[in-house]
Amino acid sequence: MNIQVLGAHNCESQNSRLISLLIDDTIAIDAGSLTSSLSFSAQQRLKAILLTHQHYDHIRDIPAIAMNFALHSASTTINIYSIQSVYDTLATHLLNGKLYPKFLEQPQGNPTIKFTIVEPYQAEQIEGYDILAVPVNHTGPAVGYQVTSPDGKIALYTGDTGPGLADCWEHVSPQLLIIEVTAPDKYEEFAKEKGHLTPSLLKEELTVFRELKGYLPPVVVVHMNPRLEKEIETEIATVAKTLNNSINLGYEGMQLNL
Ligand SMILES: [Zn+2]
Ligand SMILES: [Zn+2]
């Protein structure tokens, strides 16, 4: 399994993109930088897009990619998978016929977006991959996705989450963990209130993981605030040393191979 980090951040600039991962060129998770990172032909190769939650930085490129598919040919469709609240947000606020076309419904009979609601803890077969949505702790409904490739490689991406992931850990067994750290330790109160992690909060979650599962996979951190990234990097290095585990910061263009 090859995972490419298309966007690794929570704020966009010329040098930082919003969160998006691409698995084996066929499955994307989160849509913060799909259209800005991928050529038209690479977008066309996507078989499915999984969305973790409804926040703008994770769904931003859905209208854009739907338009690209719709204008490619009227019969070209894209499969999107997520929880009910994400469907409702897209239908109500973005693809509502005012802000942008109703790609969830049109063209009639064969809408550009084929949206499938996923239920937490119910394994779903998507393009030969085993996909498990697991609830995480954010400000609204949110899930992470454990992705198992046809040859048995397992990666987990949490999406945005705050502390308290013991229940999540019980349901997963990743060989690679991609998890968020949005801000450095001095923002702990903000992180707890908004459902995010700092390096110290990550350390606590990884400690619980190791206690429950008896191991720790390599960890890649994403969703950093670019302007706080130096501080995050320094603090993450300390956590990695303390836990004696590989923890790296993700970056645009990073390739992970399992
Ligand atoms: Zn969020
Ligand atoms: Zn976010």
3-state secondary structure of 257: strand
Mean pLDDT along residues 223-239 = 98
Is the pLDDT confidence value at 102 over 90? Answer: yes
Residue with the two structure tokens 């090859």: 2
The DSSP call for residue 186 is G
The CA distances from residue 102 to 33, 64, 91, 107, 186, in Å, are 21, 12, 7, 9, 43
Distance 68 CA to ligand 2 centre (A): 24
Whose CA is closest to 6, among 14, 30, 174?
30
Q: Which two tokens stand for residue 120?
A: 């937490």
The label of the residue with tokens 């930082």 reads 16
Length of the chain: 258
Q: Which residues surround ligand 2, an ion (CB under 5 A)?
A: 55, 57, 160
CA of 55 to the centre of ligand 2 (A): 6
Dump pLDDT digits (tens) for 138-182. 999 999 999 999 999 999 999 999 999 999 999 999 999 999 999
Residue in 75, 252, 55 with CA at minimum distance from that of residue 161 = 55
Between the CA of 53 and the centroid of ligand 1 the distance, in Å, is: 7
How much is the average pLDDT of 199-227?
A: 98
Q: Are 155 and 118 in contact (CB under 8 A)?
A: no
d(CA 33, CA 20): 6
Cα dihedral value 100, 103, 106, 112, nearest 10 = 140
The pTM assigned to this predicted structure is 0.97
State the distance from the centre of ligand 1 to the C-alpha of 73, rounded, in angstroms: 33
**Res 75: pLDDT:** 81
Please, are residues 65 and 35 in contact by the beta-carbon 8 Å criterion? yes
Residue 50 Cα to ligand 1 middle (Å): 15
Cα of 159 vs centre of ligand 1, distance in Å, is 8
57 CA from centroid of ligand 2 (Å): 5
Question: Which ligand has an atom closest to residue 162 CA?
Answer: 1
Which ligand sits closest to the CA of 54? 1
pLDDT attached to residue 144: 98
Mapped onto helix, strand or coil, the DSSP state of residue 124 is: strand
Q: What pLDDT digit, counting tens, does each position of 66-86 carry?
A: 999 999 887 889 999 999 999
pLDDT of residue 74: 74
CA 258–ligand 1 middle distance (angstroms): 27
Distance (Å) from CA 210 to ligand 1 centroid? 26
Q: What is the pLDDT of residues 30-55, one digit of tens each?
A: 999 999 999 999 999 999 999 999 99
Is residue 186 scored above 90 in pLDDT? yes
